[in-house]
Amino acid sequence: MTNIWLASKSPRRQQILREIFPNILCQGIEGVDEKPPLGEVDYQVLEICKKKAKAADDNPQISEYDLVVVCDTMLCDPDDQMLSIGKPKDEVEAAMMLFRLSGRRHQVWSATGIKKAGKWKYYCEYSIVEISPLSDEVLVELILSKSWQGKAGGYDLAGPMGNWAKIVDGSESTVLGIASQALVELQNTM
């Protein structure tokens, strides 16, 4: 049986990978600087993913695992492809993000690193999500649900936002935090 460490606290990533690896350890990495570097969003998300990989390499327990997986997810600002939208810090920031995305399409980028046989391989891809126009009442419901906490762009496609958002191009796993090609690679290790 493959011994795998998902170096993430994301419940959605855990749910996706537990279906493949029931014995997976899901434990985030502390102290990683997730401030995006300058550059396009694909570069930003990939560089943060690589920082997480380096932090995982510095953890002594890494040698106990056959596979190690690190991930990061960001949204592109719908008006400027060079600006990323990360996780909101509070309810006000979450409301501002959701208001900005309301009635619009945006890219969701996920980068995933997989360490196998001592070597990292990275995947970086995006999906396009369209959010229906959100009324003030819906915005309040989404904020009060707290489903925005810890989610890039302030929403969870597999949560309450699923009623208002749809993928128009790409894969659900990418939107939920694991690049789809990385997921195929992980499924092929079984």
65-79 residue pLDDT tens: 999 999 999 999 999
125-138 residue pLDDT tens: 999 999 999 999 99
The pLDDT of residue 13: 93
Q: Tell me the β-bridge partners of 152.
A: none
The pLDDT of residue 36: 86
Strands (E), the chain: 4-6, 25-26, 67-77, 80-85, 105-116, 119-131, 165-169
Average pLDDT value for residue range 81-89: 90
The pTM score is: 0.91
* Residue that wins the pLDDT comparison between 90 and 34: 90
